[in-house]
Structure formats: C-alpha cells, structure tokens
Structure 1
Amino acid sequence: MADKKPKPNYANAWREARRLVWQHRNRLAIGLALMLVSRLAGLVLPWSSRYIIDEVVGQKRADLLGLIAAAVGVAAVISGLTSFGLSQILGVAAQRAITDMRKSIQAFVLRLPISYFDSTKTGILISRIMTDAEGIRNLVGTGLVQLVGGLVTATIALGVLFWLNWKLTAISILVLGVFGGGMAYAFSKLRPLFRERGKLNADVTGRLAETLGGIRIVKAYRSERGERLVFARGAHKLFRNVATTMTGVSGVGAFAQLVIGAISVVMILVGGRAVLSGSMTLGQFVQYVFFVGLVALPL
C-alpha cells in the first residue's frame, strides 16, 4: 500500500511566515507608510470629479479649475514617487530575501544523505531550489503591503459611498458580497491546481534534464522510445492541468463581468432616479461611480 503524502504543517508555515515578516519589519513599515500615502493621493482624482461637474461645469466656477487641476497633478506626482519608492524598498528587498532563501535551501539539500538523491530526480531538486523560494515574495515584497493598502482604500471609499447614498451602497455591497463569495469559492478550487502545476512542471523538467544529461546512456540502451512515452505522459498531464485552470480563470472573468454589469444596472436605476429626484447631484453620482470601483478593486 502506497504511503500517504504528508499533510502540510500549517503551524510551522505560519511560524516561518511570522519570522520572515518580523525580520523585514523595518522595510515593511516604511513600505506601508508609502503605500498609505499613495492610496490617499489616489483618492484625489475621484473626489475631485464631483466639484468639476457640479461647481466648475454646473456653476461656471472657472476659478476652481486651476486649483483642482493642480491638486490632481500634485497627487499624481506623489503617487508616482511613492510607487518608485515601493519598488526600490520592497521589490529589491524581496529579491534579496529570495536569493538568501535559495542559498539556504541549496545548503540544506547538500547536507542530505546520498539515499535521498538516489530517490529524487536532480531536475526536481533544481526546480525546487530555484522556484519554491519565489513563494516568499508576497510576504516580504509588495504583496502584503498592497493588501493592507487596498483594504484601507476600500474602507475609506465605503465610508464615502454610505455618505453619498446609503441605499444604493447597501445594494452594491450585497452584489459585491456575492462576487467576493464566488471568488473565494473559485480560488479555493483553483489554488490546488496551481500548486499541482508546479509539481508537474518540476517532474517533467526534472525527467527531461536527466534524459538530456544522460543521453549517452539512453542511446546505449536504446531507451529513446521509453523516454518519449514518459515525457509525453508528463506533458499531457501538465496540459490537462493548464487547460483546467484556464477554464476556471475564464469562468471567474465571466462571473466578474456579470457582477460589473449587475452593479451598473443598479447604479443606473437607483442612482439615476436619485439624480432625477434631486437627492443626488450629477457630480455626486459620478463621484459615486469612481468610489465603487475603489471598493471593488481589492476583491
């Protein structure tokens, strides 16, 4: 009876993740501050849309046009500078951490007994050393900071939406909740497939590397046909995995389009009636559309 695959130790993984975050806490704190500044600067353009339509266009306040344009321009400069700072502070730091992780994994593999190398393909080990270390990028890179920044932006935008029109916001939140639940379910099914793709790719690459590296032995024993069959089976398994994930991602994209369409219909019906009744101005409605996008973006 084949041995069951060991279950992943989530406690050890969580402990290691905390250690990595704590080790890079200073850079992450600076990156978080830059991300918050960038997110706040990104709110200037959607906030200004209301005043452009209601004041500049509606009330013919041409004197405000230069002030609004200057504010948007300054916000764009701040956003660009903070994005560059993030890429330098966190992006380079993440790549350095990945390099250190690769070196530590390679040193650990070299300490393993000979019996382990006899039972494991060399190509698989190469793939693991070079590829698996990429998994820490979202922890010590921009991934974690962007997640926090997206949640902060969504929270601020949600407060603005309730202030503009709480009824329309309640309906939009319901639709977005369905969208978030659907996305969570879809990715819970797709995530194992993406993990399996990495393993399949490592297997196929490892076998191919060993075949080409030992091509003299393969030809000496006339094993070309057997190697072709093994490679073909691995390639077809990888193809089926990729095809399944592509279908799933396409389904998620189609579902997202349906949700966007549903929110658009709700905003046209409810928001349009609010503008006609005078409870919302046209500028507030346009501002509302911008902030709905900011809430939906983290999802």
Structure 2
Amino acid sequence: MRHLQTSDKKNKTKPKVTLKQAFKTIIWPRRKLVLLGLILIIIRSLAGFVLPLQSKVLLDKVVPGKDYSQLYTLIAIVVTAILVQAITSFLLTKVLSIQAQYLISELRAQVQKKVLSLPISFFDNTKSGALVSRIMSDVDGVKNLIGTGLVQLVGGSFTAILTLIILLRMNVWMTLSTFIPLSIFGIIALKSFKHIRPIFRARGKINAQVKGRLTETLAGVRVIKAFNAEDQESKVFEKGVNDIFINVKKSLTATAIMTSSSTFLIGLATAGIMGIGGHYMMQGEITPGDFLKFTMLLAFMVAPIVQMSNIGSQLTEALAGLDRTEELMNMAAEEDDVNRNILLEEFKGEIEFKDVSFEYEAGKPVLHNIDFKAASGSVIALVGSSGSGKSTIAGLSATFLNPKSGQITIDGKDLSKVKLKSFRQHLGVVLQDEFLFEGTIRENILFPRPDATEAQLKAAVNAAYVNEFTDRFEEGLETLIGERGVKLSGGQRQRIAIARAILADPKIIILDEATSNLDTESEALIQKSLAELTKNRTTIVIAHRLSTIRKADQILVIENGKIAERGNHDELIASQGRYFDLYTYQAKI
C-alpha cells in the first residue's frame, strides 16, 4: 500500500486521512473494478425504475381497459427487471465485496510486515495485544471504501439525482415539498459525521488497549491464579469494556439524532405529498396512477439520503481506521536509517566496544564508558549482580539497542552504519526465557533454517542433547509443545533453543544466562553442546552460574554499569576481588 499522504505536516504522528486521499491510494488503483461496480449499481437502479413506471400503466391503462394481453406483457417486464436486479446484486458481491476482503488481507499483511520492521524499542513500549488489534481490526473498515459502502453512496446518489429530475418533470410543487426537508436532513447528517469521526478513532485506541490487556491476562493466567487475582483482572477488563460501551453510546447517540431527524423530516414530506397529491387528484390534474408512480419513485430519491447515516458512519469508521494504520505505516523502520549503508561481506565476527554509554531514560545512565574487545572466535563472559547492565551490553551487541555515546564496531566497521540484515544473518541468540512458537519441536528447531536437511537437523538435535528427551516422547520431534512450550520443562525448552541456534550456524553467539533454567544433569549435557556451539564463534555469555564460564577467554565483571574487573578465571581468582567473592559465595551454596 502506498502511504496516504497527510496534509497535516506539523503532526506526522497523527495523520488525518481524507476521502480524497483514500480514493487516490486505495480506490484509483482498482478503478476498473470500482467502475464495473458502479455500472452494475446503475443497471440495478435503472431496473428498479421499471416497477413504479409500470404501476402507472397498470392503474391508468391496463385495469380500466381490462387488457389481459398488456397485463401479461407488463408482468413479464417487471419479472425481467427483478431478475436483472437479482443478478446485478450477486455480481456486485462477487466483484466488490470479495475484492474488498482480498484488499483487507493484503493490507493486514503489509501492516504486519511494517510492524516487524520497527525497532525493538517500539515493542518495548507497546502491548502486543494492542498491535494485534491494529493489524487485524484497523484495516477492516476498508471494505466500506472498495466494497459496497462507497459504491452504494455514489450509485445511490446517481439514482437520487435521476429520480429528482423525473419527479420535477412530473410535478414541481410535490417534489419541492419533499426535497426541502430532505435537504435539511442532509445538512444535519454532514455535521454529525464531523462529530462521529473522532469517536471512531478513539474507539480504535480503546479497543487496542482492552485487547492488549486481555492478551496479557490470558498469557499470564498461571500467575493470576497463583496470586488469586481473578477478581482483580476481571475488574480491569470490566473497566475497559465499559470505556468501549461509553464510546459506542456516543456514536449511537449521534446516529440516533440523524435517524430521528430523517424519520421526522420524511414524515413531514410524506404528509406534504398526501396533501398536495390529494389536492391535484381531486382537481383532476393527476391520475391515481401518476400519484402511485410519484410516491414509488420518491422512494428512490429518499433511500440514499436515509442510508446516508449508515453509509456515512461506515466511511467515517473506515477513514478513522486508515488514520491509525497510516500512523503506523509512517513510523521509521530499522532499515530506513540512511546512515546504515555498509554491507558486511567477509565476516569475521570481531566486536569492540569503545567508550560506550547507554540510557533507557534521559538522565538515567545504565552503562558508563564500556570498553572491551571480543576477538573473532573468542568467548567473553559478563558477570555481576542483577541490574548491573549485563543484558544491556548483550542487547547493544545484538543491535537491539543503540548506544547513547561511544562506538561499537564489527570487524572494524561502525555497527551503527552497518545494514542490520547484513549483520543479523551472522547472529544467534539464546535467551534466559527463550521464546518457543506453538507447534512441534521440529518446527521450532527448524525456525532459523526451514530448508535445512534432515542430517543438519539431526546434528543440531544431537549436539544440544534434545534427543535425550524426545526419544522418550511417543511423537518424537513431532511432539506438540503448546503455546510458548508450556508442555515442556524449562531445561527442555532451553535445549530446543540451543539446538535452534546450532542449526542457524551463526558467527556470533549471545547467550543470556542460557543455562540458568537447567538442573545439574541437564547443565552437564548443555555444557558439552555449548562447547561445540561456541567453537570458532565469537561468543558473549551472560553467566549466572560462574562455574559455567571458567574457560572463557575474558571475563568482565559489571557493577553499576561499569567494568569493575576483567581477566580470565585464574587471574580474577588470584586478584581476590569482586569476582573472587561471587565465585566463592556460589561454591558454598
């Protein structure tokens, strides 16, 4: 989807999509289909004129003349017209409604692709449930632009104008008696739409917030039950759905004003027609057939105006959804950074931090002047107390974060100027709370390389000792693990994550306390597989159990965002500093 250009240059984060912009970007590229839809609408409308026109013939000619031959002809004409209406209605659904649903699926795919291209910081500040709502719900109203909504509005307007011309030619005063109150209703409706659009936009935000919280609630149901917090979560959700109710109530009130206005004004118009029409019939100026023809044709003019409240609300909701979608599509993707123009060709994997500082919030630094070099193929271990900045260093190394000051280089090149895909294709990450997708064990291991051979898969499975437990499962690697691997133990999930990293065959490995969830037996198995995984690969290890990093080439002791000590295991033990204290404390436990 080409971005809808907002006219509000000062407020790029809250674009307001106009119908003209939506027409240009969504409707115009599909103009042939929309034109075909308009033609079908016009044919259906013209076929609808047959019944009121033939009604005059029936009352003024056929019945008085008792002409059965003409009666049969008239019935055949009416039935044919009804058949044409039925066929065109079916074709409208095939042409426009199905195309609208295809467009929705296309837009959802593009919005999801855009969301995945956004930086990690965006996801840190946005609920996943809210994003699901924006991807799935915000584009749903587009069906009213490319589908029946807009086409019905245009087609209905054509019918109303044509009907107005016919009615004026029949009787000017009878027509004016209806046209004036209907015009007043049209003015009321237009003003109401300006009031409704912000309500629909706010509804999208509220829906996203409520769905976001609901997603978190369902994902954390074990924690909720463990703390007996069901009532508390229910109250939070009740407040959210009540906010939705209040929003809907506002829109229904505005719609009710339009509906009530239409009922009253059309009632006045009907009374006027009865009075003026009755007068003209009693004066002999029009026949009963003329009056029936007039009243039936009047419905063709009134219907689009009455439908305006419904169609207008649909179009308003569609534009409000496009507002939010465009706001998302205008966000800068990671790869949009023009400064990132370096492609890594001969990749060695040497990482160096040069005087790097970082802060999540302005004025609250997390890292201070970090300096270290990880040579290609070396193992760098980060140790320290919780909150000291170890995971932040790992995040910077993986390009999930960007330093506030200083420089990180990869093979001597400034990492902030390297194309991210060029770097990340050589990167493997195993986290403490590793994420597994719902599906089978095989699918999760194959995730980084879906086209891997069976031999490569088996090698990764054996290297991470996944076969140690899958051989006991009836379905083996085809075992379903449930959402986020809920059917597996922590150690089993961790070994699957390590197998996934082994299969990816990266040049750089980041292990964020990758053995913390393992029992002693599993840890012994994993240590063997990690030794194979880190061979000839640059490795950054965040270690919780210091016994696992004794063979690291360099150990960095991080305290309060600074490197307090550095050296290998033997050197740090000999210096009897902070590392010595941590190591001897753990040895006693």
Instruction: Normalising by structure 1, report the TM-score.
Output: 0.91
Alignment partner, residue 230 of structure 1: 236
Q: Which has the higher strand share?
A: 2
User: Quick one: percent identity of the two aligned structures?
Assistant: 38
| 1:1-299 matches, cutoff 5 A | 6-10=13-17, 14-15=20-21, 17-219=23-225, 224=230, 226-299=232-305
CA offset digits 1:235-281 (Å, max 9, x no partner)? 22122222333333333322222122111110111111011111111
C-alpha distance in 1 between matches for 2:219 and 2:45: 51
The letter for the 1-side match of 2:15 is P
CA offset digits 1:136-193 (Å, max 9, x no partner)? 2122222232222111111111011101110111121111111212222233323322
CA contact (8 A) 2:130 2:212 kept: yes
CA offset digits 1:99-149 (Å, max 9, x no partner)? 111100011001111111111111111011111111221222222322221
- May I ask how many residue pairs the two structures share in their alignment? 295
The letter for the 1-side match of 2:175 is T
Question: Could you tell me how far 1:289 is from its partner in structure 2?
Answer: 0.5
Which 4+ runs in 1 deviate beyond 6 A? none
CA contact (8 A) 2:178 2:270 kept: no
Cα pair distance change 1:144/1:250, threshold 3 Å: closer
C-alpha distance in 2 between matches for 1:15 and 1:195: 17
Higher relative contact order (CA 8 A, sep 6+): 1
Q: SS of 1:278's equivalent?
A: coil
Question: Could you tell me how far 1:223 is from its partner in structure 2?
Answer: 5.3
C-alpha distance in 1 between matches for 2:238 and 2:195: 26
Q: SS of 2:103's equivalent?
A: helix
C-alpha distance in 1 between matches for 2:187 and 2:74: 38
Greater mean alpha carbon deviation, residues 230-239 or residues 98-107: 230-239
Q: Which has the higher helix share?
A: 1
C-alpha distance in 2 between matches for 1:161 and 1:147: 20
Cα pair distance change 1:184/1:242, threshold 3 Å: same
Question: Could you tell me how far 1:57 is from its partner in structure 2?
Answer: 2.1
C-alpha distance in 2 between matches for 1:194 and 1:59: 58
Q: SS of 1:58's equivalent?
A: helix
C-alpha distance in 1 between matches for 2:21 and 2:263: 38
Question: Could you tell me how far 1:68 is from its partner in structure 2?
Answer: 1.1
CA contact (8 A) 2:129 2:213 kept: yes
| Gaps in structure 2 of 5+ consecutive residues | 1-10, 306-589
C-alpha distance in 1 between matches for 2:228 and 2:128: 22
Aligned Cα root-mean-square deviation (Å):
2.1
| Gaps in structure 1 of 5+ consecutive residues | none
Question: Could you tell me how far 1:6 is from its partner in structure 2?
Answer: 4.3
CA contact (8 A) 2:99 2:147 kept: yes
The letter for the 2-side match of 1:155 is I
